[in-house]
Amino acid sequence: MYKYKKDFPIFKNTKFYNKDLIYLDNSATTQKPQIVIDEYAKFYENFNANIYRGIYRLSEEATSMYEGARTSIAKFINAKSNEIVFTRNTTESLNLVVLSFAKSILKKNDLVVLSVVEHHSNIVPWLILQKEIGFRIEYIDINKESFELENIDKYLELKPKIVSITQVSNVTGVENNIKEIIRKAHLKGAFVIIDAAQSVPHKKIDVKDLDCDFLAFSAHKMLGPVGIGILFGKEDLLERMNPVLGGGEMILSVDQDSCTFKEAPFKFEAGTVNFADAIVFKKSIEYLDGIGMDNIEKYIKELSGYTYENLSKVNGLKIYGQKNNSGIYSFSLKAVHSHDIASFLDEDNIAIRAGHHCAQVLMNRFSVYALSRVSIYIYNTKQDIDNLCISLSKISDLF
């Protein structure tokens, strides 16, 4: 995998403090290979036109490329093309499900099951809708030793209407047994929504095998452009959902008193959509497929283990989680604030995340305000981790 780092120009061009960049904030966003960057120029130089609306060749070419991207993404997760909705990000995808599907089926005193490890994007929309409808929310706790979800069956026995849960925690990197959760939830009659923002970039995901009802992820966490999210929804569920936004190409007809909508997924893509970034995302998918998701998963697993072992050797460092295959580790270091740790590391041109990671419910569960986080991807190396741990040891020695 080491050979792929040369495909990312940022590592050649960015040398703050006259030092090579070590980028370890991949859970937030990933860097882009040159072929993805070039795809932007290629599209705008040769094919830029608004899709669907033009009765001319240029618009037809852009439309074909946009729908080609939808087909490519569907194939990537083993879905049908009409089960793929383009959004802005994972957050918007989850909000769409809550504001359309969940809002249409939930009644007062119904139960929605979440977990304490959820990203804010899988908590806040539910809290907003809860105020309107009055349903109940229960949070699955985590085991203090393994950091895995604890006693899921207890919550499923309460017969929730919906279970909405992350596959991989963006804080601890721990992967939930999503397939088993989905199976058990379906036996109790619950619909299941999966936040896959941290899993789709790292491993092969098959939505048919998982049998999830909805699944959300983002392009920018898997070498793609910012501003494109994906919502997978089972065909029959998308068809019964109402659009949240109105206008543009999502309509069939409009008069002064009524309007009718196109079929899914088009009824969810109002206005001029971010078609250029969707098209560029296809190039990211092709790049990942060229490497092979099985190879990526294997490499991330190996480097993740190496990261855990070496972080564990730093004096005064506490990891909030366990050894995992996702390469995501949050930690504290003595009494040093996470923001200060990030600032010290930045002087060595090492980029990590510091803060609550949009997971304040989990921070409260840990009784901390903020943590430092490293997260790896395909262009990271063992040397990156060695340099990180050397820098962290220097910080530890200061205090």
Match 């074909």 to its residue by tokens.
Answer: 64
Query: Which pLDDT value is given to residue 144?
Result: 82
Q: What DSSP letter does each residue of 105-172 carry, written as one string?
A: H--TT-EEEEETT--GGGTHHHHHHHHHH--EEEEE-B-TTT-SB--HHHHHTT--SEEEEESB-TTT
Match 């480097």 to its residue by tokens.
Answer: 303
Match 């009784």 to its residue by tokens.
Answer: 367
Question: What does the alpha-carbon distance between residue 267 and residue 245 come to, in Å, rounded to a whole number?
Answer: 9
Which run of H or E residues covers position 84?
strand 84-87
CA dihedral 12, 306, 204, 119 (to 10 degrees): -90
CA 252 vs CA 14, 119, 267, 270, 331: distances in Å: 49, 36, 9, 12, 52
Query: Which pLDDT value is given to residue 53?
Result: 87
* Residues noted as catalytic: 358
The tokens of 205 are what? 């995901």
CA 18 vs CA 162, 278, 320, 341: distances in Å: 51, 35, 32, 20
Helix 57-76 crosses helix 275-291 at what angle (to 10 degrees)?
Answer: 40
Query: Which pLDDT value is given to residue 14?
Result: 87
pLDDT tens for each residue of the chain, 399 residues long: 778 999 999 999 988 999 999 999 999 999 999 999 999 999 999 999 999 989 999 999 999 999 999 999 999 999 999 999 999 999 999 999 999 999 999 999 999 999 999 999 999 999 999 999 999 999 999 998 889 999 899 999 999 999 999 999 999 999 999 999 999 999 999 999 999 999 999 999 999 999 999 999 999 999 999 999 999 999 999 999 999 999 988 999 999 999 999 999 999 999 999 999 999 999 999 999 999 999 999 999 999 999 999 999 999 999 999 999 999 999 999 999 999 999 999 999 999 999 999 999 999 999 999 999 999 999 999 999 999 999 999 999 999
Domains of the chain: 2-24+292-398 (3.90.1150.10), 47-290 (3.40.640.10)
Query: Which pLDDT value is given to residue 350?
Result: 98
Query: Which pLDDT value is given to residue 285?
Result: 98
